[in-house]
Amino acid sequence: MLGAEDERNGWRKQLSMEFQDKVLKCIDCGADFVFTAGEQLFFHDKQFKNEPKRCKACKTKRGSALGTAAPSSNHQKVETRTVCSQCGKETTVPFKPTQGRPVFCRECFQTRRTAAASA
């Protein structure tokens, strides 16, 4: 008897065989690029309705211009030193706090998360 994982993998494999690589034209540079069967399966799984319109190079360039590109390896995380709004302990957080909003240390954050989940 097949387990749920084996059944799901079998279904994905069958579905991926229905997709075939497609050659699309980039709307920015006009170059042809391949929309692979695997990418099509990913788009199908995510329920994306539209095919990609840009080649990888133009997508990256556009993302950089819009500030939405994936962080590069030289991108540094923001680490802000602050004081926990609940216990008063000095802590660091991986974001820049917004004025007027409470900031919690890891322990207080976990406590609040657990309490909210059980409520």
Write the pLDDT tens digit of every residue in 91-104.
998 888 888 899 99
pLDDT tens, position by position, 50-72: 999 999 999 999 888 877 655 55
- pLDDT value of position 100: 86
The H or E element spanning position 34 is strand 32-35
Residue 9 CA: distances (Å) to CA of 2, 12, 69: 10, 5, 31
pLDDT tens, position by position, 2-35: 455 555 555 555 555 688 999 999 999 999 999 9
Are residues 46 and 95 located together in one domain of the fold? no
Is 20 in contact with 37 (CB distance < 8 Å)? yes
Q: Is residue 58 part of a domain?
A: yes
Are residues 9 and 58 located together in one domain of the fold? yes
Q: Is residue 62 part of a domain?
A: yes
Q: Is residue 41 part of a domain?
A: yes
Q: Is residue 94 part of a domain?
A: yes
Q: Is residue 43 part of a domain?
A: yes
